[in-house]
Structures are given as C-alpha cells and as structure tokens.
Structure 1
Amino acid sequence: MRIATYNVEWFDNLFDNDGMLLADDEWSARHDVTRADQLAALGIVFTAMDADAVMIIEAPDDSRRRSTVKALEAFARTFGLRTSRALMGFQNQTQQEIALLYDPEVIAARHDPIGHETGKKGAPDAPRFDGTFRIDLNVDAAPDLVTWSKPPLEVALTHKPSGREMRLIGVHAKSKAPYGSNDPAEITRIAIENRRKQMAQCIWLRQRVDEHLIAGDSLIVLGDFNDGPGLDEYEKLFGRSGVEIVLGEGGAAQLTDPHARLALSQRVGAMPVTARFYIRQERRYLQALLDYIMVSPDLAALTPDWRIWHPFDDPVCYETPELREALLAASDHFPVSVDLPV
C-alpha cells in the first residue's frame, strides 16, 4: 500500500466555483506557470506517484460556494486517476483545506475526529482539533489559548485487500515565517510568537499520538509541519523542534520517519529536502525539509520504503524529463510517499 502526502501550492486557484478545472492560459499562483500548465503538471505527478491514498495539503477551498470534494474528484476524473474519491474533515477559513484523495477499490476511509469539544476557555488534554488547546507556553502562570487555522484531518482507514485498519492524521502546522512587517524588532517578535504557536500545535498533536499508541492503533502522521530540526535560529530559544516533539522524546514511544531522523542526527552536510522556494531578494532558491510521513512502531516493523519525489535528488525523477519538469511546475513542495507491505 502506498500512502503519500503532497502540499500543492494554491490548488484552489485552479478551479471555478462549480469545481471545474480552469485549464486556461491565465497565470496560476506559481511564478511563470499558467493554470493549464500547473494542472497538466499535477496530472503527471499524481499519475507517476500511483498512490493508493494522497493526503493533500492546501487542497481546494470548501465553503458556501465551493466544494473541496467536488473539485478533487473532478481533477481525478480529468486525469484518469484511480484515486477517484475525496474526503475532507473540518472546514477552515484559509482557502487551503486538508483532504484525502484515495482509491475506493483499495481503501475505505472516513473522517473520524477524536477528542472532546471545547469552549473558548479551551482544555489542556488533547481536545478535538477544531477546538481550543490551553497551555502555558511562557511559564508565566497565564495559559495560552491555541487553535489550528487548519485543523488536522483524522481518518479511520481500512486497506481492503488485507483488512488492515489504521489511523491517518493529516497535518498543516503553523508557518513560522514573520509575514506582515519590515521592522527587525517586529519581525523577531512575530517569528517567536509563530514558533511558540507551532510548538503548541505539535504538543497537542503529540498528545493525540500518545492516545493512539496506548490504544495499540496503527498510526500514520503526515503532512507539512513548516518545521524541522535546525531550520531556524529561534529553535535555540525552545531547545527542540516541533517535529522532534511529534516523533517522541525521552522514554516515549517513537514514531519513525527516516528523513527526520537523518536531519536530527547531522546538522551539517547533505540533508533530505521536500520544498524549494525562490528568494526573490537574494535571487536564489531555499530548500527545506518540511513534509513528513511518520509511522507507528508496528508499521515501522514492516520495513516500509520512504521516498521524496525530488526532481533533482531522486534519480528516477531526474532521469525522466517529463516528470522532472512537472514536479518543478506543479508546486513549491514535492510529494513524499511510503510503501507499506501490508
């Protein structure tokens, strides 16, 4: 069984209000890429991945006028993908949903949120992801109230051929980028505030992970964490990254992601990367490891095979010009997949 995660940059811009594809010569949100070209590139990438299920980060908007499910299923029909069924969880207000696109012949899936609902005062014990988490991040005896702008998608999944049941949690954690200011002091303040919120989200998520591991559930946590060990200087203020928290620290049961472990084990040298951003002011590209697929110990024991579909670092992607160019045109992130011999 192949499970993948893919952050598709502004997927929503490629659909009209009826969920139909805008395959025209208007510009997409990708620099110098038309909507038709981005859609064609995405069709090539999804076809090449041939996954049984893809957790899509920045999926098309779901609102009173638009439907995530309708848009994704239209996309799958257009390109003849076997992942023809779409599933989403809680709506958000960012026009960037989290959704699962899957093959209904291979997989049965349903949105199955865990945890209790909260009021505005929140709760400290792993509330439902559309609620409020109460945690004292400043150690100032004044609890912070934390929410998800994009609540994680919790999926109860069954692999039909084997009958294997597992849990998926699709994640798009808080970005730490200090948008909205040119003042150095303000930039620093915003960056620290964003990292604090990102850390709180990861602590909340780890509480849910612990619940599943104690229950003996097979678990996959996947998506864009906007974080990684050693990614920015503000990590020193907190002593760890959010990714380390979710993977498990100390004597806690560990989740496994070999790319994260490699990054944790060496802060100098070649690192795996899943995203590539152009820094206009510096006229160069920044590469980062932001996207992960973490699996529970029972799934790790199956010796799964992870892959980052990087157009330059993956030999098959690089040596297949059509796929290489499609990966560059489709998004500023590259897919990550895991093959599980279930």
Structure 2
Amino acid sequence: MRIATYNVEWFDALFDDSGQLRRDAEWSARHKVTRADQIAALGRVFQALDADAIMVIEAPDSNRKRNTVVALESFAKTFDLRAWRALMGFVNTTQQEIALLYDPDVIAARHDPQGALGVMPAPRFDGTFHIDLDIDATEDKVNFSKPPLEVAVISLATGAEFRLIGAHLKSKAPHGAHGHDEVMRFSIANRRKQLAQAVWLRARVAEHLNRGDSLILLGDLNDGPGLDEYEHLFGRSSVEIILGAEPPRLYDPHAAQALTRRIGDQPTSARFYIRPEHRYLQALLDYAMVSPDLRPKAQRWRIWHPFEDAECWETPELRDALLCASDHFPLTLDIAL
C-alpha cells in the first residue's frame, strides 16, 4: 500500500465556487505560474504518485459557498486518479483544509475524532488545550487553526485496521512583523504556540500507542531539528516532541537522519524563495511517522524531490511538474498493510 502526504500551495485558488477547476491563463496564487500550468503540473504529480491514499495539506477551502470534498473529487476525476474519494474532518477558517483522497477499492476510511472537548490531556482537536506556555503559573489556551484530521482505516485486502492523523502545525514565520525586535517577539511567540500544538498532538499519539493502535502521523509539521535560531530557547523541536522522548516512539527515517546528522547532507521536502537574499531555502518539513508495530512493515519512505530523488531528476516532465505544482514536494510511504 502506498500512503502519501502532499502540501499543495494555494490549492484553493485553482477552483471556482462550484468546485470546478479554473484551467485558464490567469495567474495562480503561485508566483508567475498560471492556473492552467499549476493544475496540469499537479495532475502529473498525483498521477505519478499513484497512491492509495494522499493526505492533502492546504486542501481547497470549505465554507458556505465552497466544498473541499467536491473540489478534490472533481480534481481526481479530471486526472482519472484511483484515489478519487475525498474525506475531511473539522472545517477551519484559513482556506487551507486538511483532507484525505483515497481509493475506495483499496481502503475504507472514516473521520474518527478522538477525545472530548475540554478533557485533558488530549482534548478533541477542534477544542482548546490548556498549557502554561511562558512559565508564569497561568494556563494559556491553545487552539489549532487547522485541526488535525483523524481517520480510521481498514485495508480491504487484508482487513488490517490502522489510524491516520493528518497534521499541519502553525508556521513559525513572523508574518506581519517589522524590525528586528518585533521579528524576534513574533518568532518566539509562534514557536511557543507551535510547541504547544506538538505537545497536544503527542498526547493523542501516546494514547494510541499505549492502546496498541497501529498509527501513521503524516503532514506538514512546519518544523525540524535545527531549523531556526530560537530552538535552543526551548530545548526540543516540535518534531522531537511528536516522535516522543521515551518508548513507545514514532519513527520517520528522515527525521532520524536530521536528528543524528546536524552537519552535512540532509533530506528536504520544501523549497522557498527568499526574496531579500535572492536565493532558495530548502527544509525538511513533511513527515510520515509510524508506530513501532508498523515499522517492520514499512518498505520505503520517499521524498519526491526534483533535484535529490534520482528518478524525479531523470524524468524532466515530472521534475518540472514538481517545481511548478507547489513549494513542497510529496512524500510517500510504501507499507505492507
């Protein structure tokens, strides 16, 4: 079975209110990329992935006028994808939903949120988490702007049951800040909130692992060990918190490599243009973490990086599509389930 996660930059801007693709020559929300070109590139990438399930991060918006499921199923039909059925969880207000595209001939999937509102240590993800963020003996209230998607899955071929959690943690970028001091304040505040979300997510992971559930946590965690200068203030990255400090721990080989090799080549899953510096920044932000019982069944983790993955590099059409489609690259997990 192949399970993927893919953060599609401004996927929402490619659809009209009826959920149909806007395949025209107007600019998309990506810099100097038309809607038609981004749509074609995404179709090429999704077809190449040929995944049984794709956790779509920054999926099209749901609101009174727009519907994530309709839009994603329209996209899947346009490109004749096996994974044509869409499922989503709690709607958010960011225009960046979390949704699952899957092949209904391979798996059965349903939204299955855990926890209860306001009940610690792991409340339901559309609720509020209480934690002392700044060590002032006062509890702060933390929310997910994009509540993680919890899915109960059954493999139709084997009957194996497992769970997926799709996550998109808060960005640490100091958006709206002006001047060095404000950038520092915003960055520290954003990292503090992201770490609180990671603690909340880890609490849910621990519940599953302690019950012996088979679990895959995947998505854009917007963090990795050593990614910014403020990490030392808090001791650990969000990725390390979610993986767990003690058994039972989750496992992702790219995260493990980044944690053990702070200098030298690192896997990366995203590529951003830093305009003031006229250069690109690459980072490892996307993960597929598995529970201990699934680790022996995992056959291959692969980041479809246009420059670092040999097959992608040697396939010009796919390489160009990956660069055009999004600022993140898909990650796939091949696993025997």
| Fold shared, TM-score > 0.5 on shorter chain | yes
Partners of 1:255 and 1:55 in 2: CA distance: 18
8 A contact 2:55–2:98 mirrored in 1: yes
Match of 1:158 in 2: 154
Query: Where does 1:226-237 land on structure 2 (aligned, <5 Å)?
Result: 226-237=222-233
Partners of 1:176 and 1:303 in 2: CA distance: 31
| 3-state SS of 2:205 partner | helix
Match of 1:48 in 2: 48
The percentage of aligned residue pairs carrying the same residue is: 67
Match of 1:60 in 2: 60
Question: TM-score scaled by structure 2?
Answer: 0.99
Q: Which moved more, 1:177-186 or 1:257-266?
A: 177-186
Partners of 2:278 and 2:141 in 1: CA distance: 39
Q: In structure 2, what residue type is equivalent to 1:186?
A: E
Q: 2:175 aligns with which of 172, 176, 179?
A: 179
Partners of 1:100 and 1:50 in 2: CA distance: 14
Match of 1:239 in 2: 235
Q: In structure 1, what residue type is equivalent to 2:208?
A: H
Match of 2:206 in 1: 210
Partners of 1:260 and 1:294 in 2: CA distance: 9
Partners of 1:295 and 1:303 in 2: CA distance: 8
Partners of 1:181 and 1:125 in 2: CA distance: 33
Query: Where does 1:1-342 land on structure 2 (aligned, <5 Å)?
Result: 1-118=1-118, 123-249=119-245, 251-342=246-337
Q: What number of residue pairs does the alignment pair up?
A: 337
8 A contact 2:298–2:334 mirrored in 1: no
Partners of 2:203 and 2:189 in 1: CA distance: 21
Cα drift, residue 124 of structure 1: 3.7
Partners of 1:13 and 1:124 in 2: CA distance: 37
Partners of 2:60 and 2:133 in 1: CA distance: 33
**Runs of 4+ deviating beyond 3 Å:** none
8 A contact 1:124–1:135 mirrored in 2: no
Partners of 1:255 and 1:33 in 2: CA distance: 37
Gaps of 5+ in 1: none
| 3-state SS of 2:209 partner | helix
| 3-state SS of 1:70 partner | helix
Partners of 1:304 and 1:245 in 2: CA distance: 25
Gaps of 5+ in 2: none
Question: TM-score scaled by structure 1?
Answer: 0.98
